[in-house]
Each structure stands twice: as C-alpha cells, then as structure tokens.
Amino acid sequence: MTEKNWLIFQLPELMRDIEPGNLRFHEFLRTPSLSCSIYHLPAGSKEMQSAHEEDELYLVLEGRARLRVEDEEHRVEKGSMMYVRTACDHAFFDIEEDLTVIAFFGTPIRQIRGFGRP
C-alpha cells in the first residue's frame, strides 16, 4: 500500500469525541516531521504540561485560559495562536471555560540533529 501525499481533516469530525468536562488528548496525525492533536481541558482543571523536545504551535478553538511560558503569563481565548519553543517550560492554567486547542508539534530536536530515528 502506498502512503498518501495529502490528507484532509474536518474540524467537526475531529471534535466529535470531545465531551465537555472530560480531559481529552487525541493525536490525529503523525509523520516523521509533524504531529497534530486535539487537546481538551475542562474548566477548572489543572494541566500538568512541561517542556517538550519539539517546537509547538497551539490554536485555541474554544474556551478561555491562561498560558504560562517560563516566567511569562498570557491570556488565551478562541482564535489565539501561540508558539512555544523546544524545551520551554509551559502550561495552561486558570481555565475559565472548557479549552480546546489544536496542537502542532514539530520534529524532536534530537531527530533534527541526527540522534533519533530517521
């Protein structure tokens, strides 16, 4: 079987398994250079994220919260897009309304430098 050179994702389909009030992390794409996930955090929850070995880009689809990146805090809401550099400590907190984001993860730095799997 040959691998497709493209895929199309429909946002309503990606979000259909999200249940209000329940934590959900669903990776819907993984390639050697990119990973994409839907991430849902219920209002009032505590996110336990930490630094990753990939650059990240978040797009807020729904909700309101704050994002801490190292020593800085930022308010995020529907339409906010945030970039977090590799190895920066970060977490969502003060989640006022159920927060749903698409998270785009780049290639881990060890793979870029040739230390990981091809």
- Predicted confidence at residue 87, as pLDDT, reads 87
Domain layout of the chain by residue ranges: 18-112
The 8-class DSSP code of residue 37 comes to E
Pick the CATH number of 18-112 from 2.60.120.10, 2.160.10.10, 3.40.50.300, 3.40.50.720: 2.60.120.10
CB atoms within 10 A of CB 79: 8
Q: Are 109 and 94 in contact (CB under 8 A)?
A: no
How does pLDDT run along the chain (118 residues), one tens digit per residue?
Answer: 567 889 999 999 999 888 888 888 899 999 999 999 999 999 998 766 667 788 999 999 999 999 999 999 999 999 999 999 988 889 999 999 999 999 999 987 555 444 333 3
Quickly tell me which residue has 């990776």 as its tokens: 27
Distance CA 98, CA 4 (A): 34
Closest CA to 30 of 112, 110, 106, 111: 106
Q: What are 81's strand-pairing partners?
A: 59
Q: Are 73 and 66 in contact (CB under 8 A)?
A: yes
Q: Please state the pTM of the whole predicted model.
A: 0.83
